[in-house]
Amino acid sequence: MVTKIKSSFRDPSGFLFQEKGVLYRNIDKSYRKNYNKMLSSGILEEFWKNNLLVKHKEVGIKKQNSSTFKTISPEIVPFISYPYEWCFSQLKDAALLTLKMQRMALSFEMTLKDASAFNIQFKNGKPIFIDTLSFEVYENGSPWIAYKQFCQHFLAPLTLMCYQDLRLNQLLKTFIDGIPLDLASSLLPKKSYLKFSLLTHIHLHAKTQKHYADKPTKSRIARTVKMSKNAHLALISSLENAVKTLKPAKIKTEWGNYYKKTNYSDNSFLQKRNVIKKFLEKSGKPRNVWDLGSNTGSFSRIASNMGISTVSFDIDPIAVEKNYLLTKKQRESDILPLVLDLTNPSPSIGWAHEERISLQKRANSDLIMALALIHHLSISNNLPFENVAEYFSKLAKNLIIEFVPKSDSNVKRLLSTREDVFPKYNERYFEKAFSKYYKIKDKTKLKDSERTLYLMTKL
Amino acid sequence: MQSFYIVLIGLFTLFSADSAQAYLDPGTGSFIFQLAIGAILGGIVALKLRFKQVKNFGLSLFKGKKVESKENLKKS
């Protein structure tokens, strides 16, 4: 069965589709000149050599129509993530990769025709460009068509995350083609005007957009105005400097220091690690694991160190930032830290709700880990155990879950400021509710703790 | 702000010719702004380069004199 990937409708150069689990990209005849230039100039080889662009192989033409030039089969990325699920440094690295590729493209007399953050994915711990058809032949004197898109997709959210709040990349969920610059400009503090790169690329840029919003002057200017390559390169350098100097806003978050103030003893921490490892082995060593509420990924790394492709989700952008920086430092390839509010997971968005797909539709893991999470869902968010069990069972076949009883100090803290309206929050009801969807395969009580770890498999 | 747009319009007269073809709309304001800021940034880079050349030339003259004076000292 052939399934067309709905997000690839914007660019007429080609489209993506899947057949029997294999990903294909049809290249349109209108892109022939550009594709041939990619091959003849050596740019494709250079990108591949440096692991900057996903590799592909040419295959026999599929789904042929009168305008099909070629069919290629690109490598699959283990998990598709979106910029509103990235931490600050992930978005920053994606921005710098985009600029690096534009600089390289110019040296091969080519240019990037778009600068969408959705063209970047994370593979083997590093950002990688996934849209092979984004490069076109550079025409001498042409400006960077994707300049506005770069500012909206990268510079605006990064600047807001730096100057205001790390959570502001969530605006990309609402504004699918990047944060409008007038909005970014109005949300930024006045001190951002003092920085030349932000004064120009955000504030004056937004004001110029507003000034020309109702003036149809572009076609005349496009016909008459050139931009030298040196000016083009200077623009890229200026954007690079602007991005490089941005640092994440320092906000005190709830979970950033979790492991420093936890009530675990060293013994029970070590035992927990050993039990999780045993459960992972017992579940048949899954190919993909999702760790929900992973904090800085301490337990995710048990799976990733076993060579299991692991997505390490947490609601706290600081924890995810720490996790990602550790991933980079240790050059880990099997772990992908992402920001996720599980009580409001990423929805399907864009045209016909099909451009960027929901978390549930992207579920590809064999096992979910939900460690020290149930009290946050059931007490802080009032979710009955049945609802949690039902949703988890839709995401993966196997589950490693930790039950945290009311006697635990962390649960006591959650209940200290509110009325306890959870008479059924106990181990017996927990097991009963989860048994509707799962078979409990194993159960281990943690020493020096009130907590219990379960291994379950879907009925 | 008015003077900024006068500068923009003035910059257009410095350039000449080709159309851009793309599926992405670069946006009128962004397009115009990019040409202006590109010209300014490109100009700054060119000036820095020229300044560096002049500086290096000056330094080489100075170094030359220094070597010469040392040689003179040795001779005397």
Q: Which tens digit of pLDDT belongs to each residue from A189-248?
A: 999 999 999 999 999 999 999 998 877 665 566 667 789 999 999 999 999 999 999 998
Residues in chain B within 8 Å Cβ distance of A14: none
Burial class (CB in 10 A: 0-12, 13-18, 19+), A95: buried
Q: Which tens digit of pLDDT belongs to each residue from A245-262?
A: 999 877 555 555 555 555
Among partner residues A204, A216, A223, which is closest to B33 by beta-carbon distance? A204
- CB proximity under 8 Å: B 47-76 to A: none
Domain A258-458 has CATH 3.40.50.150: yes
| Domain boundaries defined on chain A | 2-74, 83-244, 258-458
Residue A308's nearest CA partner among A323, A289, A324, A293 is A289
- Based on the structure, what is the number of domains in chain B? 1
Residue B57 counted as domain residue: yes
Could you tell me the residue range of the domain that residue B55 belongs to? 44-76
Residue B21 counted as domain residue: no
By CA distance, what is B29's nearest residue in A? A209
Residue B71 counted as domain residue: yes
Amino acid letter at B37? I
By CA distance, what is B17's nearest residue in A? A224
| Contacts (Cβ under 8 Å, ≥6 apart) of A283 | A366, A367, A398, A400, A441, A455, A457
pLDDT per residue as tens, chain B (76 positions): 455 454 444 444 333 333 334 677 888 889 999 999 999 999 998 898 888 888 888 888 877 655 555 555 555 4
Residues in chain A within 8 Å Cβ distance of B23: 10-13, 113-114
- Complex prediction ipTM: 0.79
Closest Cα in chain B, distance from residue A339 (Å): 29
Closest Cα in chain A, distance from residue B49 (Å): 12
Residues in chain B within 8 Å Cβ distance of A144: 34
Q: Given an 8 Å threshold on Cβ–Cβ distance, is B38 in contact with A210?
A: no
CA-CA-CA-CA torsion sign (A222, A224, A227, A228) = positive
Q: Given an 8 Å threshold on Cβ–Cβ distance, is B18 in contact with A215?
A: no
